[in-house]
């Protein structure tokens, strides 16, 4: 269950234009510590901007720890990493890959999180990587995406999580008064640990929810399902890669069938064609249950955002697809805050009004009806066995290794994860 914290302030950051200037400025002004995790870090103008911010933090005397995924960031070189290592920045790779074959095949169970914590006072959680394709001037393939800036008690929670991942030392902390205990709510036959809604105008109740391949395999999915069960009026889910398991798909359908307005924003111009095809296979199931589906058509959509009843919202790195729900390491912030949730919903409504087309069921014909039934049968039984079939994929013990100037793992510098 999530460890809810009280008294937070959350700010939604949209696209690279909103995210990079803010996160780079906070990092560059660090005085004690920077902890950063990312899936993708490219050697382009955005990657160099991150490099300069980290170098400035190191010149300020801050301890700087960076963890990058070995598959998502395979081409870091001496021009990017050399100055950082010389400045004392601790660079680590999550399960670094070696050779062309591994770079192509070792794509499962990756570290897909995007987290930053600075001086134990500010944290950033979201889906934005450090690459130029998150800026509008990249062109038609620039990505639409989101992150959250957090201040308040949740920062300590994110910091503790990152410290464990990065193997950074934990500082001594003075004891604090524990927050009020969340209430227990009854949902169907089972109780769920759900934070109570905050009073109007109070700081946010929020938690960091993560997914791993050990003790927290379904935590993010369970938060989505709990929010759907509690929904009374409106659900908006905007997700880049959408092919959830049977249980989550059924939760969406049941929510719509009991009269809740459920809107999905998915990719209309997918950066990976297979993702668009997979999502489209579910359209009939969703539309016939009353779910409204919108395709974002301006450029590739990369966000992982949801809001329920202008009370509950989540932003993070987790897609609603097999990789994120059953394989990768993910992190989302989940919040109960009316002002933040309303702002997220307003931004999603703006996308639907100005940048999306609504998907509708095509007129039925004899052959299309037969094909729809066959396709529904296949997809239904495929999803019934998701994610159990993913357990058949190859398993190995990932490692976190210190990186050299070439971005390669240093021999003997491994720590099993």
Q: Which residues participate in catalysis according to the annotation?
A: 112, 114, 119, 302, 304, 309
Q: Chain-centre distance of CA 130, in angstroms? A: 14
Beta bridge partners of 356: 296
Bridge partners of 335, per DSSP, are 206, 313
- For the stretch 361-370, what's the b/e string if a residue is b when 16 or more beta carbons lie within 10 angstroms of its beta carbon? eeeeeeeeee
User: What distance in Å separates the CA atoms of residue 284 and residue 375, rounded to the nearest whole number?
Assistant: 10
Phi, psi (degrees; rounded to nearest 5) at 173: -125, 140
Is the separation of the CB atoms in 271 and 143 below 8 Å?
Answer: yes
* Interatomic CA distance for residues 86 and 156, integer angstroms: 29
* Those residues with Cβ within 8 angstroms of residue 163's Cβ, 6 or more apart along the chain or in another chain: 35, 169, 170
Q: Count CB atoms within 10 A of the CB of residue 190.
A: 8
Which is it for the CA torsion 6, 348, 161, 173, positive or negative?
A: negative
Is residue 96 within 8 Å of residue 105, measured between CB atoms?
A: no
Structure tokens at 305: 């955002």
Give strand pairing partners of 305: 238, 315
CA distance 149 to 142: 22
- Site of tokens 């111009």: 269
DSSP 242: B
What span, in angstroms and rounded, lies between the C-alpha atoms of 128 and 114? 7
Which residue bears the tokens 């395709």?
A: 295
């Amino acid at each position: 269950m999530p460890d809810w914290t009280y008294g937070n302030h959350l700010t939604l950051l949209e696209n690279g234009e909103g995210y990079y200037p803010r996160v780079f400025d906070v990092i560059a002004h660090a005085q004690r510590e920077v902890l950063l995790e990312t899936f993708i870090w490219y050697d382009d103008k955005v990657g160099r901007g991150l490099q300069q911010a980290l170098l400035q933090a190191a010149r300020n005397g801050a301890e700087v720890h960076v963890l990058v995924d070995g598959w998502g960031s395979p081409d870091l070189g001496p021009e990017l990493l050399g100055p950082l290592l010389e400045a004392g920045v601790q660079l680590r790779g999550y399960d670094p890959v070696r050779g062309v074959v591994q770079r192509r095949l070792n794509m499962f169970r990756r570290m897909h999180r995007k987290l930053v914590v600075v001086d134990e006072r500010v944290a950033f959680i979201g889906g934005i990587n450090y690459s130029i394709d998150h800026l509008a001037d990249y062109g038609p393939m620039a990505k639409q995406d989101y992150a959250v800036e957090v201040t308040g008690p949740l920062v300590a929670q994110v910091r503790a999580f990152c410290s464990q991942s990065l193997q950074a030392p934990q500082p001594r902390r003075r004891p604090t008064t524990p927050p009020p205990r969340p209430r227990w709510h009854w949902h169907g036959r089972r109780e769920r640990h759900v934070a109570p809604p905050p009073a109007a105008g109070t700081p946010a109740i929020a938690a960091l929810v993560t997914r791993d391949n050990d003790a927290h395999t379904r935590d993010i999915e369970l938060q989505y399902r709990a929010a759907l069960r509690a929904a009374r009026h409106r659900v908006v889910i905007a997700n880049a890669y959408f092919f959830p398991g049977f249980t989550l798909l059924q939760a969406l359908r049941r929510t719509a069938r009991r009269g809740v307005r459920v809107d999905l924003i998915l990719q209309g111009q997918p950066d990976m064609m297979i993702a668009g095809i997979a999502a489209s296979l579910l359209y009939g199931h969703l539309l016939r249950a009353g779910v409204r589906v919108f395709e974002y058509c301006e450029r590739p959509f990369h966000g992982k955002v949801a809001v329920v009843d202008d009370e509950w919202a989540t932003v993070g790195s987790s897609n609603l697809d097999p990789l994120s729900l059953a394989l990768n390491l993910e992190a989302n912030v989940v919040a109960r805050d009316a002002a933040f949730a309303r702002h997220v919903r307003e931004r999603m409504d703006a996308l639907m009004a100005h940048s999306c087309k609504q998907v509708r069921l095509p007129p039925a014909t004899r052959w299309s009806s037969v094909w729809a039934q066959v396709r529904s049968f296949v997809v239904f039984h495929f999803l019934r066995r998701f994610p159990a079939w993913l357990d058949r994929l190859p398993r190995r013990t990932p490692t976190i290794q210190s990186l050299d100037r070439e971005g390669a793992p240093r021999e003997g510098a491994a720590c099993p994860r």
